[in-house]
Amino acid sequence: MDAPSALAGLFKALADPSRLRLLRLLDGTELRVQELVEVLGLAQPTVSRHLGILYRAGLLRRRREGGWLFYGVDWNSGRLSQSGLGESVRKRLQDAILGPDELDRLDRCLEARAARSREFYARMAPQWEGLRAGLEIEGLQLRLLGGVLPRTLDIVDAGTGTGALLPALASAARQLIGVDQSPEMLSEARRRLEAAPVPGVRLLRADIGQLPLADDSVDAVCSTLALHHAARPAAVVAEFARVVRPGGAVVLSDLVEHDEEWMRSEFAHVWLGFAEDAVASWCRSGGLDRIASHRLNRRRSGAGRLLPDLFVLCARKPVDSRAAEPMFTSVEP
């Protein structure tokens, strides 16, 4: 398609209030058709038709995850970026394009994603260690620590769960903060710490997407197998980047993108893993750089079901040329 025709198609796709509302909803959040139907209060065929027009115009991306199809918008790629209109359109859409009822329904929709995970953890917290052992994540703690040199650091374990990672991180920490939203999981973490005390540890109940920490206040944020339970994983990564000091690191570990639907039903996963390139892109959007990733291969469990591979990704907040050398190493073996 030549440039004039592409530009005409772009403006035609934007020339509808419902399609503009769809773009606003998908700004920073991937949603399924049924979720968009619930938020906008439109019929499913109408929503699908508008999504098709936006997709063909190069304004949306589609991503299949298991049996679900997610839509999203990337303002820095596709025809919006090529035309130079991306940021301008995004800024305009942020100005009251959605009503309070629609914003409320969006919040409820995203909350429903997280609620199922919270209910799962509340139910499974007392037996989590046995369940976790079946996930075969031995060696993961050492890989995570590959991003942090042993020295006096302020470290956050985001999504600490039962606190299994806290003893491993303690050797590098002056202050160690375990954060989790589940009171049941934090109770198990407290029991662990009472049985084998770890100095300098604080446990906080909070959403990892809204950390109760100041900007540039810690040296590192580590997060293990928590991102796939987040309603807005890209926003969580941005939050990790916010609280890390210049020269500090965000060290993430999660499942690679996969199609094991049983993990959604049995473990209440919101997302079936992530493409490492996507997580790296979220890090860059959050202002992080020097991104390095390593993949850990998995084995089949005793039940014969395939467990997805893991990745460990380390990214750093830039420092100026006068700052000291960064405190973190690569996660490469």
For tokens 């407290």, the residue is: 190
Q: Tell me what pLDDT residue 64 has.
A: 84
* Burial grade of 315 (CB within 10 A; 0-12, 13-18, 19 or more): buried
Strands 218-224, 244-255: pairing is parallel
In whole angstroms, what is the distance from residue 68 CA to residue 272 CA?
Answer: 10
Residues 216, 270, single domain; the answer is: yes
Those residues whose C-beta lies under 8 Å from the C-beta of residue 231, and which sit 6 or more positions away, are: 110, 111, 113, 114, 209, 270
| Residue 77 in domain | yes
Q: Tell me what pLDDT residue 215 has.
A: 95
CB 254 within 8 A of CB 310: yes
- pLDDT at residue 329 is higher than 50: no
Sign (positive/negative) of CA torsion 219, 129, 161, 31? Answer: positive
Residues 306, 178, single domain; the answer is: yes
Look at phi and psi of residue 50 and say left if phi exceeds 0, alpha if psi is from -120 to 50, else beta.
alpha
Q: Tell me what pLDDT residue 254 has.
A: 92
- Residue 95 phi/psi, 5-degree rounding, is -95, 85
Q: Tell me what pLDDT residue 206 has.
A: 92
In whole angstroms, what is the distance from residue 204 CA to residue 189 CA?
Answer: 11
Most confident of 8-12, 162-166, 255-259: 255-259
Residues 201, 250, single domain; the answer is: yes
Q: What is the mean pLDDT of the chain?
A: 80
145 to each of 141, 220, 314, how far by Cα in Å? 6, 11, 10
Query: Average of pLDDT values for 164-190?
Result: 86
Q: Convert the pLDDT of each residue in 245-276 to its tens digit.
A: 999 999 999 999 998 888 887 888 889 999 99
Q: What is the pTM of this model?
A: 0.68
Q: Where are the beta strands (DSSP E) in 162-224?
A: 173-180, 201-205, 218-224
In whole angstroms, what is the distance from residue 303 CA to residue 216 CA?
Answer: 45
- pLDDT at residue 59 is higher than 80: yes
Q: Of 149 and 152, which is predicted with more confidence?
A: 152
Enclosing domain of residue 244: 125-316
Domain count, the chain: 2
| Residue 326 in domain | no
Residues 9, 135, single domain; the answer is: no
Residues 92, 147, single domain; the answer is: no
Q: Tell me what pLDDT residue 324 has.
A: 40
Residues 94, 132, single domain; the answer is: no
Q: Tell me what pLDDT residue 288 has.
A: 95
Q: Which two tokens stand for residue 255?
A: 């499942």
Residues 273, 222, single domain; the answer is: yes
Q: 321: pLDDT confidence band, cut at 50, 70 and 90?
A: very low
Strands 173-180, 153-158: pairing is parallel
Look at phi and psi of residue 35 and say left if phi exceeds 0, alpha if psi is from -120 to 50, else beta.
alpha
Domain boundary among 56, 83, 98: 98
| Residue 119 in domain | no
Q: Tell me what pLDDT residue 144 has.
A: 57
Weakest mean pLDDT among 9-23, 46-60, 173-187: 9-23
Residues 52, 182, single domain; the answer is: no
Residues 212, 129, single domain; the answer is: yes
Helix (H) or strand (E) holding 141: helix 140-145
Question: Which percentage of the chain shows pLDDT scores above 90?
Answer: 27
CB environment 284-304: b (16+ within 10 A), e (fewer): eebebeebbbbebebeeeeee
| Residue 117 in domain | no
Query: Average of pLDDT values for 226-240?
Result: 93
In 3D space, the residue among 270, 298, 198, 279 whose CA is nearest the CA of residue 236 turns out to be: 279
| Residue 329 in domain | no
Query: Average of pLDDT values for 120-137?
Result: 59
